[in-house]
Chain A
Amino acid sequence: MSTLTAGVPVAMKRPIYGWTIHDGLVVARRNLIQTVRVPELLFFSLVQPVIFVLLFAYVFGGAIPVPGDSDPNAYRQYLMPGIFGQTVAFAAASSTVGLAEDMHKGLIDRFRALPMAPPAVLIGRTLADAARQILVLFVLTITGFLVGWRIDNGLLNAIYAYALLLLFAYTVAWIGAWIGLYMPNPETANTAGLVWLFPMTFLSNAFVPLASLPTWLQYIAAWNPISALVLATRELFGNPTGMANDQYWPLQHPQLYTIASCVALIAIFSTLSVRRYRRTTSR
């Protein structure tokens, strides 16, 4: 019989990016393996945005005019960045549910009894949820091409647009994670993880031009980071922007506002989440 306790464990060298990131990546790998092991969940998470593309392109498309563009195909060009923005925003829901599940499993106790960095569970969750969006964006891009959407402003700008979308996915994942930490059980998380996302994504320029909204709503929608994200990606993809009103500062600087609001939101919600995580787990 081999020995179980003999032999001194060999420690790992400290990676240059530090232990917190290392531990976060280990947990992220675990979350991504889970995704692969439940292909049904992955499949349906891809089906939903595809259905949105088809619904908006064929059901609403004819009824929503894009200002300054008389091309009948314009709405589909206008729509796709909106769908991209909405879809990555919904990554938050999987963080909420995933973290609520993690917190109610025995596994969290083992994580906490390990000498690992405490935020690693949260970093791993948000990284994995954002990483999954790469696949979602890929499938959406294909669907977009099939309904007539085109990238019309060069490859580099398109890559920049996808990078902004992933940054936004990572940002909302932190908001979702923070909500998940307050959930009494995974079932509640399933509902609560979604409710705020509908107003957040629809009170924006994702599906309709801002000019079609009442003035007070325009104000809210203009400062909604999703609007800046969607506008920035429309410009970078070379799609119609539907912009008639440029009196709002965020929409005059969509890239800057997107990056700045993402950085600020990540800073706020990662701090709140780590604090909440420590408090819930060490009473």
Chain B
Amino acid sequence: MTSEIAVSAEGLVKHFGEVKALDGIDLTVRKGQVVGLLGPNGAGKTTTVRILSTLLQPTAGTATVAGFDVVKQPDEVRRAIGLTGQYAAVDEYLTGRENLRMFGDLYHLAPKYVKERSAELLEWFDLTDAADRPAKTYSGGMRRRLDLAASLVASPSILFLDEPTTGLDPRSRLGLWGVIENLVQEGTTVLLTTQYLEEADQLAEDIVVIDHGKVIAHGTSEQLKDQIGGDRVEVTVLDPDAVGRAADALRSVGNGDPLVEDLRVSAPVSGGSTVLVDAIRALDAQGVAVSDLQLRRPTLDDVFMSLTGHVAEEESA
């Protein structure tokens, strides 16, 4: 069983002076799995990743990565992991190729292998044309790609990605998501932190929500959404006088009390999109004129809001 576990943390606590950055984090990542660590700024995501990648010592608790203890066997852990942090950790005066060569040399890989591997990675990350230019001439997206390439030089089996797309434009973000998805398909285990709910939803099978240094929820995106309730039919009426009749109509097709906010009426439903047809018929029967009608699945935003009482992008004190 243990060989199936790539990353495991138990009761991780980290204090910076008076500040409790982590207050007992438990975490398990199985081999080949993508786990998203989701939380607002200051929740403890980066601290967790820094402990798991041996950059910080925990105040209390234990963690193993690739079967090695992060405190007692840091070198073994370092050999097994790749790390991409929030800021592109490449040398800006070195070219892309020189950066990869340096990291390959520091991983103690054979020079010939490093050369081939670098060329392969540069090609893969669409950096071949820029390979012999200093990295400071790169765009933000190119630097992130080079950074990710640098963490892959030694083909790590476990990859830590700390907010890999923060600050990137939407196109670069989509590109990086594609790369990460490919890595996962080839069997890499990924622990990803993000404050973008969309990103966790897109990439991670398993999501761990943390806030104030504690795990506050854990599950697949679907499970988390189910936790705060399933689908809702939401209708916006044209005439304020029709709100009552719309509520009656939705009560007849839904399985709970409708909620009224101004011109918008919503009710929990089950049965997927066929419910919409029933709702239209019921509204029509009541003679309600509708400006908008939709079946709404809860988003991770709703999950986050209901779990923490604040939205995800908000700075937490």
Instruction: Tell me whether A3 and B186 are in contact (CB under 8 A).
Output: yes
| Cβ–Cβ < 8 Å partners of B259 in chain A | none
For chain A, which range describes its interface: under 10, 10 to 19, 20 to 34, or 35 or more residues?
35 or more
Given contacts A109-B89, A110-B89, A114-B103, whether A4 and B154 have CB atoms under 8 Å apart is no
Shortest C-beta distance, A66 to chain B (Å), equals 44
Question: Among residues 6 to 46 in chain A, which have CB atoms less than 8 Å away from a CB atom of chain B?
Answer: 6-14, 19, 22-23, 26-27, 29-30, 33-34, 37-38
Q: Is A282 an interface residue (CB 8 A)?
A: yes
| Cβ–Cβ < 8 Å partners of B16 in chain A | 283
Given contacts A10-B110, A30-B102, A115-B107, whether A5 and B188 have CB atoms under 8 Å apart is yes
Question: Among residues 176 to 226 in chain A, which have CB atoms less than 8 Å away from a CB atom of chain B?
Answer: none
Shortest C-beta distance, A109 to chain B (Å), equals 6
| Cβ–Cβ < 8 Å partners of A281 in chain B | 55
Shortest C-beta distance, B133 to chain A (Å), equals 11
Q: Is B299 an interface residue (CB 8 A)?
A: no
Tell which of B53, B187, B188 touches A113, judged by Cβ atoms closer than 8 Å.
Answer: B53
| Cβ–Cβ < 8 Å partners of B183 in chain A | 4-5
Instruction: Tell me whether B106 and A111 are in contact (CB under 8 A).
Output: yes
Nearest-neighbor residue (CB-CB) of A7 within chain B: B155
Shortest C-beta distance, A103 to chain B (Å), equals 13
In the bound complex, CA of A23 to CA of B301 (Å): 46
| Cβ–Cβ < 8 Å partners of A12 in chain B | 105, 108-111
Question: Among residues 94 to 146 in chain A, which have CB atoms less than 8 Å away from a CB atom of chain B?
Answer: 105-116, 120
Instruction: Tell me whether B120 and A2 are in contact (CB under 8 A).
Output: yes
Shortest C-beta distance, B44 to chain A (Å), equals 15
Question: Among residues 81 to 134 in chain B, which have CB atoms less than 8 Å away from a CB atom of chain A?
Answer: 81, 83, 85-91, 93-94, 98, 102-103, 105-113, 117, 120-121, 123-124, 134
Instruction: Tell me whether A33 and B83 are in contact (CB under 8 A).
Output: no
Question: Among residues 22 to 53 in chain B, which have CB atoms less than 8 Å away from a CB atom of chain A?
Answer: 50, 53
Instruction: Tell me whether A26 and B154 are in contact (CB under 8 A).
Output: no
| Cβ–Cβ < 8 Å partners of B93 in chain A | 33-34, 37-38
In the bound complex, CA of A120 to CA of B157 (Å): 25
Instruction: Tell me whether B57 and A283 are in contact (CB under 8 A).
Output: yes
Instruction: Tell me whether B55 and A113 are in contact (CB under 8 A).
Output: yes
Instruction: Tell me whether B83 and A113 are in contact (CB under 8 A).
Output: yes
Q: Is B63 an interface residue (CB 8 A)?
A: no
Tell which of A22, A109, A116, A282 touches B85, judged by Cβ atoms closer than 8 Å.
Answer: A109
User: Could you give, for residues 224-241 of chain A, a 1 whenever the CB lies within 8 Å of some chain B CB and a 0 otherwise?
Assistant: 000000000000000000
Question: Among residues 33 to 92 in chain A, which have CB atoms less than 8 Å away from a CB atom of chain B?
Answer: 33-34, 37-38
Nearest-neighbor residue (CB-CB) of A13 within chain B: B110
For chain B, which range describes its interface: under 10, 10 to 19, 20 to 34, or 35 or more residues?
35 or more
Instruction: Tell me whether B113 and A10 are in contact (CB under 8 A).
Output: yes
| Cβ–Cβ < 8 Å partners of A9 in chain B | 107, 109, 113, 117, 154-155
Instruction: Tell me whether B56 and A6 are in contact (CB under 8 A).
Output: no
- Residue among B105, B123, B124, B154 with the highest chain A CB neighbour number at 10 A: B105
Instruction: Tell me whether A114 and B182 are in contact (CB under 8 A).
Output: no
In the bound complex, CA of A37 to CA of B88 (Å): 19
Q: Is B12 an interface residue (CB 8 A)?
A: no
| Cβ–Cβ < 8 Å partners of B188 in chain A | 5
Shortest C-beta distance, A102 to chain B (Å), equals 10
Shortest C-beta distance, A191 to chain B (Å), equals 23
Given contacts A4-B124, A5-B188, A110-B89, whether A115 and B117 have CB atoms under 8 Å apart is no
Instruction: Tell me whether B124 and A26 are in contact (CB under 8 A).
Output: no
In the bound complex, CA of A270 to CA of B213 (Å): 37
Q: Is B79 an interface residue (CB 8 A)?
A: yes
Instruction: Tell me whether B186 and A113 are in contact (CB under 8 A).
Output: no
In the bound complex, CA of A34 to CA of B93 (Å): 6
Tell which of A8, A22, A26 touches B102, judged by Cβ atoms closer than 8 Å.
Answer: A26
Tell which of A37, A38, A113, A116 touches B81, judged by Cβ atoms closer than 8 Å.
Answer: A113
Instruction: Tell me whether B55 and A282 are in contact (CB under 8 A).
Output: yes
Nearest-neighbor residue (CB-CB) of A120 within chain B: B106
Residues on B lying within 8 angstroms of A by beta carbon are 16, 50, 53-57, 75, 78-79, 81, 83, 85-91, 93-94, 98, 102-103, 105-113, 117, 120-121, 123-124, 134, 150-152, 154-155, 157, 182-183, 186-188
14 new A-B pairs (CB below 8 Å) besides A109-B85, A282-B56? A4-B120, A5-B155, A10-B110, A11-B109, A12-B109, A13-B110, A23-B106, A30-B94, A110-B83, A110-B150, A112-B54, A113-B54, A113-B81, A115-B75
* 9 cross-chain pairs, A with B, having the tightest CB-CB distances, nearest first: A106-B87, A110-B89, A106-B89, A10-B113, A115-B78, A34-B93, A10-B110, A37-B93, A5-B186
